[in-house]
């Protein structure tokens, strides 16, 4: 794993290694690279959790960070993502963390050879470190994934999280069901799990994973008001009372309070929402460690690497 | 002092300790926390002095800084201040420095328990580190506050500085007078000092503290032109010549040259304007030290801290 | 050299020292200042290469960086460049790196005495570190400058790079020719080199240095379409085939692919475009080292430096 692009690309063995490393870091374990490692965080979409989480993870590993703000970069002069990453490579970046609104933006970065690319979310596609932190949170709670029932509820169609999670949870032995407004369903996703009525899903699952209504991406509430959405598909206080003993609530955040979930439940006993965020730091440390270890030994110096022959 | 929200909350004993620590740092003294401390600077209003000053103070103390830009954070997706700070807490922040346009924004952060909150200015309310750096500057000059006369001149009503300073200066034994356009007066403030004619105030005070005309907050010049304001209430070259021997000029900056103060006086002998900025770094080091010391020992780890029981 | 403002100001001896130091850093050499050095990067224009390059150079030298974003600073309250730099000086900055759209912005900073100013590009004026990295790239290739022919092609009039480079290349013994659309010519520049037909220039030069069409500065294509410009003055695949054996292609980037240069040539064997970027880091390390060395020993502490006498 030199790049981390999608959870689908990760072998189950790799997923397990990352979770072990993440728990090791959470328990106070340390690791630093053999030499100075430079990393840049390219966030083409707004973010608090993911960006800050990577920033903390990088500092905990002792990496050097090259600050990069899209709005004040040459991207605003029309420079392409490829040329931007290629530039950072030339300047000495060993890894770049990228969030971009375009699905599979990383396909145009195939030519990049000396930089590890860590996907921090691509359009409606993948968000592998979010999946991994969700998995860590579930593992901490239940010890294993085998036989667990996980309900993923809400805006399935536009959710990077739903895709990444459904795929890997099924591979790990869990059962996944989807719920929420039918018009947001995606037949492609249904390969990994059935659609279930909202009340059944909430009452019978070990993990109730709510998705964020992405107001900023599109008009998602359809013809419903926020209150109607909450009543029809949200985790209300009443629905929470029907949850299985020992079951937990998850949400990738930012939470729309009283839309996906009642305000009072965000910090309730079942909620692992802030624990997920905390786990995110350790999962990202593990992912960065893995990427750096794979790259160490390879020479990142353009001048020595390439003979720069000139055609005569 | 785990949080620093207002100068009013500070006991005189705490103020004095901070001033001693600040002078210690200025004189080359050092202090570093026992363990890695993460801090985030959340500036919801533009700032050069205060933000850069905190950034330098944090680096001098060896803290780890989590970069945070409001415009590229999830705040632009509508995430609340509470959820933002709660997120930073989960990710590992030990302290957050906040400037926000809302008066007493910190009241909605009562539920935050593991992060020290340092107020870097709230609306028209308080700006405690500015007060503290003003105090340090005065103390360096006069040794003590007892019996000093301090004139605070200008836009009293909208000034965070006026409020914070008047309160603490009076508690320290100084006499405070206010001057400037009457329509900007505030009866609440007048408990701490009388209104005085501009010329009398300037001629009889040890410290002439000018306030900034906050063009960005409201139309403050009233019906006056900038030139009329300067003539009526500004520190002109002529007024400076009438100042008491040994008296000094202060201004929180940014200065509107030739409005509050004549251009030629900004760097004159009496001016302590840039010395105030320098002192700001050391005062902020002292404040951060105090906050960190109060927090050390308390366990900031969400997972170990909370048993995360699940209702059965 | 305490400040680096223009290449014209640099003596040839200083240029040579910087190139030697840069190569030393590139070859793995290290240097760190004797005491903590604070530096701020003030970019009033968008930049990826130059800004990131300085950021990496500063970290490699172990400097402390004060983050500064123009848009969230007091510059947006109308604070002048002078007052901004003066503030950073008071706060403890030892050096500031500035890119600004105004030609010779540094003329208004004459009063700044305790901070090194490194020009990272002023309007259409100078860009000395770009010149220096170009020189390093040429020196690596040809060993010396004596007798080399360098063609500078494109938007000469608005190019910071053209001015800086032509001047210093001629002083180093190279021959410079200019080419591109005649309406962009500049008589002032022609003192340092003749105008030459595009095909002749490309066929007879050792270094073909293309300039960027600055869409963001003005309507530069004139009445031509992008395709017509490329055909008339761009480095097409056909023109590249006519280049002298051993000759190289340079471009300061960001590249407008298929405008100044054919897409396929950006990473071709002759291209040193990404090598230039890499060299930029080492040249900037050398420049910062020189500026810091010149400042060391001088006391940057406002309080001890100045007696702050008060007129009696």
Does residue A67 contact residue C67 with C-beta atoms inside 8 Å? yes
Which of A26, A248, A254 comes nearest B77 by C-beta?
A: A254
Residue B171: exposed, middle, or buried by beta-carbon count in 10 A (0-12, 13-18, 19+)?
Answer: middle
Minimal CA separation from B43 to chain C, in Å = 8
Q: Please identify every stretch of chain A with a pLDDT value under 50, giving residue numbers as ranges.
A: 300-308, 311-312
Q: Mean pLDDT for chain B?
A: 90
H-run or E-run covering C149: strand C149-153
A269 and B310 in contact by Cβ < 8 A?
yes
A·C CB contacts under 8 A: 98
Contacting B with CB below 8 Å, chain C residues are 36, 38, 40, 64, 66-69, 71-79, 83-84, 86-92, 111, 301-303, 308-312
- Domains with residue ranges and CATH for chain C: 12-126+277-305 (3.40.50.1370), 128-273 (3.40.50.1370)
**pLDDT tens per residue across span B47-100:** 999 999 999 999 999 999 999 999 889 888 889 999 999 999 999 999 999 999
Ligand-binding annotation for B200, yes or no, is no
H-run or E-run covering B282: helix B273-295
Q: Please identify every stretch of chain C with a pLDDT value under 70, giving residue numbers as ranges.
A: 1, 215-223, 297-312
Identify the band that residue B170 occupies on the pLDDT scale cut at 50, 70 and 90.
very high
Nearest residue on chain A to B304, alpha-carbon basis: A27
ipTM over 0.85: yes
pLDDT reported for residue B307 = 45
* H-only helix segments in A176-241: 198-204, 226-233, 237-241
Which of C55, C270, C272 comes nearest A66 by C-beta?
A: C55
Q: Give me Rg for the CA atoms of chain C.
A: 20
A47 and B72 in contact by Cβ < 8 A?
yes
**Binding site, annotated residues of A for carbamoyl phosphate:** 49-50, 99, 127, 130, 253-254
Does residue B114 contact residue B305 with C-beta atoms inside 8 Å? yes
Which of B47, B56, B270 comes nearest C73 by C-beta?
A: B47
**pLDDT tens per residue across span A195-211:** 999 999 999 999 999 99
Residue whose structure tokens are 């007052």? C83
pLDDT reported for residue A295 = 85
Closest CA to C166 of C123, C199, C211: C211
Ligand-binding annotation for B99, yes or no, is yes
Is residue B301 over pLDDT 50? no
Closest CA to A265 of A234, A227, A233: A234
Closest CA to B243 of B210, B204, B198, B271: B204
Distances (CA, A) of A54 to A130, A279, B148, C293: 11, 11, 51, 35
- Sign for the pseudo-dihedral over CA of C216, C218, C224, C230: negative
Find the length of chain B.
Answer: 312
H-run or E-run covering A156: none
Which of A46, A247, A272 comes nearest B72 by C-beta?
A: A46
pLDDT reported for residue C272 = 98
A302 and C52 in contact by Cβ < 8 A?
no
Tokens of A120: 């921090």
**pLDDT tens per residue across span B142-167:** 999 999 999 999 988 888 778 889 98
pLDDT reported for residue A311 = 43
Measure the CA–CA gap between A300 and A308, rounded to whole angstroms: 15
Identify the band that residue B311 occupies on the pLDDT scale cut at 50, 70 and 90.
very low
pLDDT reported for residue A1 = 67
In sequence order, the 6+-apart residues with CB closer than 8 A to the CB of A10 are: A1, A4, A18, A128, A168
List the helix and strand counts (H, then E) for chain A. 10, 9
In sequence order, the 6+-apart residues with CB closer than 8 A to the CB of B6 are: B119, B125, B126, B128, B164
Give the 3-state secondary structure percentages of chain B, helix then strand then coil, rounded to 5: 45, 15, 40
H-run or E-run covering A62: none
Residue A32 forms beta bridges with which residues? none
3-state SS string over B158-227? CCHHHHHHHHHHHHCCCEEEEECCHHHCCCCHHHHCEECCHHHHHHHCCEEEECCCCCCCCCCCCCCCHH
Ligand-binding annotation for B49, yes or no, is yes
- State the chains in contact with A (3 or more Cβ–Cβ pairs under 8 Å): B, C
DSSP code of residue B100 = E
Cβ burial C288-301 (10 Å sphere, 16+ → b, else e)? bbbbbeebeeeebe
pLDDT reported for residue C288 = 98
Closest CA to B302 of B15, B80, B90, B32: B90
């Amino acid at each position: 794993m030199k790049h981390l692009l999608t959870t689908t690309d990760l072998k189950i063995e790799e997923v397990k290694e990352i979770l072990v490393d993440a728990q090791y870091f959470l328990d106070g374990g340390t690791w630093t690279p053999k030499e100075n490692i430079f990393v840049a965080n390219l966030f083409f979409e707004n973010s608090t959790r993911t960006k800050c989480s990577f920033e903390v993870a990088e500092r905990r590993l002792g990496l050097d960070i090259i600050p990069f703000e899209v709005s004040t970069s040459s991207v605003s002069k029309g420079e392409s993502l490829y040329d931007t990453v290629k530039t950072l490579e030339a300047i000495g970046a060993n890894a770049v963390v990228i969030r971009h609104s375009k699905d599979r933006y990383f396909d145009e970065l195939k030519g990049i050879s000396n930089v590890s690319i860590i996907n921090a979310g691509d359009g409606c596609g993948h968000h592998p470190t979010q999946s991994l932190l969700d998995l860590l949170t579930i593992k901490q709670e239940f010890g294993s994934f085998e036989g667990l029932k996980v309900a993923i509820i809400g805006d399935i169609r536009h959710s990077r999280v739903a895709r990444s999670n459904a795929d890997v949870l099924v591979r790990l032995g869990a059962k996944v069901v989807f719920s929420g407004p039918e018009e947001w369903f995606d037949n492609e996703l249904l390969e990994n799990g059935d659609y279930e009525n909202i009340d059944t899903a909430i009452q019978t699952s070990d993990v109730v994973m709510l998705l964020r209504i992405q107001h900023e991406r599109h008009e998602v509430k359809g013809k419903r008001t926020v209150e109607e959405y909450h009543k029809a598909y949200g985790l209300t206080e009443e629905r929470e009372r029907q949850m299985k003993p020992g079951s937990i609530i998850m949400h990738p955040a930012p939470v729309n309070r009283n839309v996906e979930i009642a305000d009072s439940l965000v910090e309730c006993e079942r909620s692992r929402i802030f624990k997920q965020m905390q786990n995110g730091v350790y999962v990202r440390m593990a992912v960065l460690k893995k990427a750096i270890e794979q790259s160490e030994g390879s020479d990142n110096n353009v001048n020595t690497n390439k003979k720069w022959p000139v055609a005569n």
